[in-house]
Amino acid sequence: MSDQTQIRTRFAPSPTGYLHIGGARTAVFSWLYAKRYGGKFILRVEDTDNERSTEDSIQQILDAMAWLGLDYDEGPFRQTDRWEIYHSFIKKLLDSGHAYRCVCTREDLDEKRELMQKSGAKPMYDGSCRGKDIPADVGKPYVVRIAGPKDGKTEVEDLLRGTVVFDNSELDDMIIMRTDGSPTYNFCVVVDDADMKISHVIRGDDHLANTPRQLVIYKALGLKPPKFAHVSMILGSDGKRLSKRHGALSVLEYRDMGILPDAFLNYLTRLGWSHGDQEVFTLDELKSKFDLDAVSKSASRFDLEKMTWTNAEHLRKMDNKALVKISGNAFEGIPGERLETLLEMLKPRARTLVDLAASARIYLEDGLEYDEKSVTRFLTSDTASLLSELADRLEIANFGRKEDIETVFNEYLEEKGLKLKILAQPVRVALTGGTVSPGLFDIMAFMGKDKCLARIREGARRGRG
RNA sequence: GUCCCCAUCGUCUAGUGGCCCAGGACACCGCCCUUUCACGGCGGCGACGCGGGUUCGACUCCCGCUGGGGACGCCA
């Protein structure tokens, strides 16, 4: 495969906080696109902002990607390690006249911006230092600006949106190097994407307006731009921009909520991408089916409810070994066959790993938490005698076979002339503390005679008051 | 304010001029299954933002409006 046809995508987060849903989705799209076409996925940390970048953020982003299984073929590169490269290109632009030094102060700039804003124009730099040929030894702090085109148009060819045209008069001469000598974002992105031979830049919609500016730099540098795909943003459930208040949680928090990585990937990909009517995808399906042509152009809202549903779907289909592995120590020390039984009982009822572990505790641990309402309703003085009689009967049952338990149950019911319906809920509350559980005989067989009888008798005790 | 993007059920979406008085999924509501809850099955509720064109025919094409989002930093 030649250089031109090799697909190379990248994820380029700035380490100024944790990885949230929005960032995660562009990462996922980029990663899947590379997987889909047998390309490479590159991770690049955009840490040129000294003030806000933190090592802790980098680690969090790395952790989140590792949890999701977003493996990268190259990197993580760090822009702070690439200073010489940027400076060599800045020098090149300065020498060729595509960039110039500017000594305007921040105060000047702010003032100008405000004035333009008031007059109804787009606030931009007016280019007052352009053409002055200010030398490096002016004796004043200076920035370097790109000398962009003053007229004409710049066209962005976007894979999702077609040709988007910007009037060059809308673009000002942006700063590519700060007073302190550090290069700026728009410049580094161009240099890096070109240097790393990125073929497809898949990024958020919020960067669409940056793209013509970057195109100006590509042109000045004589470099060939990659293909662009600007994916729409994810909004909060109220349609507002995602903020900490609604939905912009760290990806890692979904892990802590008991969401499966594959389910997270499934939901996030499906949010803004579709493949006919299919809702549930395995990881392999995503890797083989994802493509940019079916990516939606409109913004979509994050819906925790549907993510949880997607998670439940994955949970049910997951094989037990994998489930135990991902659950950490929740099922530690339980023999294989017993574990299988437990998971088969609990899986169809669980929505998250947290649910699953919590429901398992009822049957594994000695102590029991009682739901007050259920107790009042079902553990009454009427049911108390039934429960203790039943417990006595069950002494002879073989708890190794749930059919045996059922037989004893039925014999007792017949004698009393009662329906199972009457006895089922009181027994369930006695055994589990609540009114919701898997089949009665299933949980009894699982818990064993001692625990069952103890709990039923305790239930009777509570019934008597 | 200026520029840019977007617009189908509450939400995610299918739909690329006739197959659509619009299909699927989540949520919600019934019913069935059933010892409870879930799973599963069946059914219901529910949308093409508005106004102009183009066309024999518009959810689909064009224009305007409205609404939503984004960008305008020595942040990324």
Mean pLDDT of the region A382-387: 91
pLDDT, tens digit, for every residue of A31-82? Answer: 999 999 999 999 999 998 888 899 999 999 999 999 999 999 998 999 999 9
Contact A450, A400 (CB under 8 A): no
Mean pLDDT of the region A86-102: 96
Among A44, A114, A97, CA closest to A72: A44
In this model, does residue A1 exceed pLDDT 50? Answer: no
What pLDDT sits at residue A249?
84
Q: What number is the ipTM of this complex?
A: 0.95
Which residues lie across from A20 on neighbouring strands?
A250
Range with the lowest mean pLDDT among A240-254, A269-283, A448-462? A240-254
Nucleotide nearest to A437 (CA to C1'): B37
What pLDDT sits at residue A115?
83
In this model, does residue A10 exceed pLDDT 80? Answer: yes
| Residue whose pair of structure tokens reads 């903020």 in the numeric block | A243
| Confidence class for position A2, pLDDT limits 50, 70, 90 | very low
Among A70, A78, A5, A3, CA closest to A41: A70
Contact A81, A48 (CB under 8 A): no
Average pLDDT, chain A: 93
CB contact set of A88 (below 8 Å; sequence gap of 6+) = none
Contact A412, A393 (CB under 8 A): yes
Which residues of A carry out catalysis? 244
Nucleotide nearest to A420 (CA to C1'): B35
Length A456 CA → B35 C1' (Å): 16
Nucleotide nearest to A172 (CA to C1'): B72
Length A378 CA → B69 C1' (Å): 53
In this model, does residue A106 exceed pLDDT 70? Answer: yes
Length A342 CA → B9 C1' (Å): 40
What pLDDT sits at residue A119?
79
**Residue type for position A353:** L
Instruction: Give the DSSP H/E element, type plus range, for residue A175.
Output: strand A175-177
Residue with minimal CA–C1' distance to B15 is A276
Residue with minimal CA–C1' distance to B12 is A271
Residue with minimal CA–C1' distance to B23 is A277
What pLDDT sits at residue A26?
96
Residue spans of beta strands (DSSP E) within A243-367: 300-301
Task: Tell me how far apart the alpha carbons of residues A444 and A427 are, in angstroms, rounded to a whole number.
Answer: 10
The two structure tokens encoding residue A348? 């169809």
What pLDDT sits at residue A245?
58
Length A243 CA → B47 C1' (Å): 28
pLDDT, tens digit, for every residue of A315-344? Answer: 999 999 999 999 988 888 889 889 999 999
Nucleotide nearest to A45 (CA to C1'): B76
Asked whether the whole model's pTM tops 0.90, one would answer: yes
Rg of chain A, C-alpha, whole Å:
32
What pLDDT sits at residue A422?
87
| Confidence class for position A4, pLDDT limits 50, 70, 90 | low
Length A265 CA → B73 C1' (Å): 34
In this model, does residue A465 exceed pLDDT 80? Answer: no
In this model, does residue A117 exceed pLDDT 50? Answer: yes
Length A297 CA → B58 C1' (Å): 22
Phi, psi angles (nearest 5°) of residue A104 = -65, 140
Nucleotide nearest to A165 (CA to C1'): B4
CB-contacted nucleotides of strand B (7 Å) = 1-8, 10-15, 23-27, 35-39, 68-76
**Residue type for position A32:** L
Nucleotide nearest to A121 (CA to C1'): B2
Length A256 CA → B41 C1' (Å): 34
Mean pLDDT of the region A353-372: 93
Contact A331, A339 (CB under 8 A): yes
CB contact set of A358 (below 8 Å; sequence gap of 6+) = none
Task: Tell me how far apart the alpha carbons of residues A239 and A66 are, in angstroms, rounded to a whole number.
Answer: 30
In this model, does residue A3 exceed pLDDT 60? Answer: no
- A262: exposed, middle or buried (C-beta count within 10 Å: 0-12, 13-18, 19+)? buried
pLDDT, tens digit, for every residue of A223-255? Answer: 999 999 999 999 988 888 876 655 678 999 999
| Confidence class for position A418, pLDDT limits 50, 70, 90 | confident
Alpha helix locations (H) across A209-296? Answer: 211-221, 251-256, 261-270, 283-289
What pLDDT sits at residue A88?
97
Nucleotide nearest to A107 (CA to C1'): B74
Length A115 CA → B51 C1' (Å): 38
